[in-house]
Amino acid sequence: MNESVESVRAADAIAIERTLAGDRDAFRVLVERHSATIFRLAYRLTGNHHDAEEIVQEAFLRAYQKLEQFASQANFATWVYRIAANYTIDRMRQRKQEDARKQAPSAEMTEDVEQDPLGQIPDAAPTPERLTQSVELRRQMENALNSLTPAERIAFVMRHCDGCGIEEIAAALKSNSGAAKNTVFRAVHKLREMLEPQLAPRAMARAMGTES
Amino acid sequence: MKHLSEEQLIAYQDGETAERDTAAAHINSCAECQAELNRLAEMLAAYQALPVPDPGEDYGRRVWQQIAPRLQEKRSHWWQVFLEPRRLTAAGLVAALLLVAFLAGRVSKPVDHGDAALTAKQVRQRVLLLAVGEHLGRSEMVLMEIANAEPEGASMKQVNLSSQWRRAEELLEENRLYRQTALQEGDTGIANVLDELERVLLDVAHSPGNVTPAQFKSIRQRIDDDGLLFKVRVLTKEIERRENIGKKGPAESGSAKVERNNQA
């Protein structure tokens, strides 16, 4: 049975109220209901299962700690999603700075192998040829995503994968809607530029198996 | 002919309304811009289709197990929350719910701020009814599946309740929250049915995935003896009725009908 938006929000309201009243286990209902959504966001942002799991845990820990501030918010799902996005952007920026400081050439050579999430995902493509082609294209798409700044990647994923509104993206980026819109545009522009050489018309959709 | 800029194409693809008709007219008459738009749409669709691993059905439970030891209990007690309107933590959400209902035409007039205390109680009741109504629907499905389950396998010595076991565990925590909230709201009709439901959910949640016919019989006996499936259905109907009344006018304060049915 699908839960209606209203009934989910009602159930969340009761769980939040009970949690704040000192019933710690009531928070479990919120964690169980919303973890998978936050995992999907975190995975799209990092491309890494382990990082995504850490982000989910941290997002809920922060949500619990800040739950008293929730009263003015309308939707717990949106609120915890924003906490996860905020935390991820800080974490990604910090990692980029650390990487820049290290500047180890040997690490660069193995980076693709270590960070490529595609190796962990079983591919449903039916033939080895198609598998190779598809995996290669996905790798290029992932590399293109990795080359975006943290803000661009978050703005792109929120807008074009999760269908978030510009205002929501602006809140996650702690900026205004004009700047958020520009960030989304810049991300799409960069991805197009990087993938252009590989993109014959319709090739991408065929390789991803999304062509009807 | 001047082609659309990349920014204009992206804005068009994104569903922006500014100068949309002009852009659409150009795209319809320009094969080059049409092709560009298709390529953009295909790239975005490919990104949407990038696979995300399924974390598993019990992922939420695993996250909870990992973070629970790190959560310190909030210090306030329930009576402080319920007696202090400013700390009614769900108030913001409740107000939003009411606004949603109002905008959707579910309530006929906006909140009368002169009678805020009564309104808050009505909205709290509506929140509880919404949550419990949905919860009962899911619980009824689990109970129905148990009622229809049969021993399986060559020896017919096991009944597989693994799917019901997992869902019962999820429902159990919600059930406890709604039962306690109903009690605090003075809604004993709802609280009593949830109390009986909780005992069965507890039985199922504490059973292994596969139970022996004797264990299965005991669980089913409890459902049958309490007439639980019937009570859940009656309460569901009663909640629907009260929700309908709530949409038309002030919410009812009690659930005497359910109590009568419980006593029957």
**Which is more confident, B21 or A50?**
A50
pLDDT at A182: 94
Q: Could you give the CA distance from residue B84 to residue B155 in angstroms, rounded to a whole number?
A: 60
pLDDT at B181: 93
Q: Is the pLDDT of residue A7 over 90?
A: no
Q: Hey, which residues does B159 pair with through a beta bridge? A: B211
Q: Which residues of A touch B174 (CB under 8 A)?
A: 11, 15, 29
The pLDDT-based confidence of B151 (bands split at 50, 70, 90) is confident
Lookup: tokens for A185? 């545009």
pLDDT at B263: 52
Rg of chain A in Å (alpha carbons): 19
Shortest CA gap A113–chain B (Å) = 18
Highest averaged pLDDT of the listed ranges A5-9, A47-51, B46-50? A47-51
Q: What is the DSSP letter of B72?
A: P
Which ipTM was obtained for this model? Answer: 0.78
The pLDDT-based confidence of B84 (bands split at 50, 70, 90) is very low
Lookup: tokens for B127? 């929140």
Residues in chain B: 264
What would the pLDDT profile of B169-186 be if each residue is shown by its tens digit? 889 999 999 999 999 889
Average pLDDT of the residues in A166-174: 92
Highest averaged pLDDT of the listed ranges A134-143, A162-171, B72-81, B238-247? A162-171
Q: Which of A31, A64, A67, A162 has the most B C-beta neighbours within 10 Å, making it the best mutation to test the interface with B?
A: A31
Cβ neighbour number for residue A68 with a 10 Å cutoff:
11
Q: Is the pLDDT of residue B165 over 70?
A: yes
Q: Is the pLDDT of residue B164 over 90?
A: no
Cβ neighbour number for residue B247 with a 10 Å cutoff:
15
The pLDDT-based confidence of A176 (bands split at 50, 70, 90) is very high
Q: Do B45 and A64 touch (CB under 8 A)?
A: no
Highest averaged pLDDT of the listed ranges A2-16, A53-67, B21-35? A53-67
CA nearest A76 in B: which residue? B93
Q: What mean pLDDT, rounded, does chain B reach?
A: 79
Q: Is the pLDDT of residue B149 over 70?
A: yes
- The pair phi, psi for residue B112, each rounded to 5°, is -85, 105
Q: Is the pLDDT of residue A212 over 80?
A: no
**Which is more confident, B78 or A38?**
A38
Q: Which residues of B touch A32 (CB under 8 A)?
A: 60-61, 63-64, 170, 173
Average pLDDT of the residues in A105-120: 41
CB-closest option in A26, A73, A192 to B40 = A192
Residues 6+ apart with CB under 8 A from B106: B247
**Given CA atoms A160, A162, A165, A167 in this order, what sign does their dihedral have?**
negative
CB-closest option in B73, B87, B93 to A24 = B73
Question: Exposed, middle or buried, A149 (CB in 10 Å: 0-12/13-18/19+)?
Answer: middle
Q: Do A204 and B173 touch (CB under 8 A)?
A: no
pLDDT at A3: 67
B113 in contact with A at a CB cutoff of 8 Å? no
Q: Is the pLDDT of residue B239 over 90?
A: yes
Chain B stretch 28-87, residues whose beta carbon is closer than 8 A to a beta carbon of chain A = 35, 38-40, 42-53, 55, 59-61, 63-64, 66-68, 70-78, 80-82, 87
Q: Which of B215, B152, B142 is nearest to B174 (CA)?
A: B142
pLDDT at B254: 46
Q: What is the 3-state secondary structure (H, E, C) of B129-176?
A: HHHHHHHHHHHHHHHHHHHHCCCECCCCCEEECHHHHHHHHHHHHHHH
> Helices A105-115 and A128-146 sit at what angle, rounded to 10 degrees?
130
Q: Is the pLDDT of residue B135 over 80?
A: yes
- 3-class SS of residue B211: strand
What would the pLDDT profile of B183-237 be if each residue is shown by its tens digit? 988 999 999 999 999 999 998 888 877 788 888 888 888 888 889 999 999 999 9
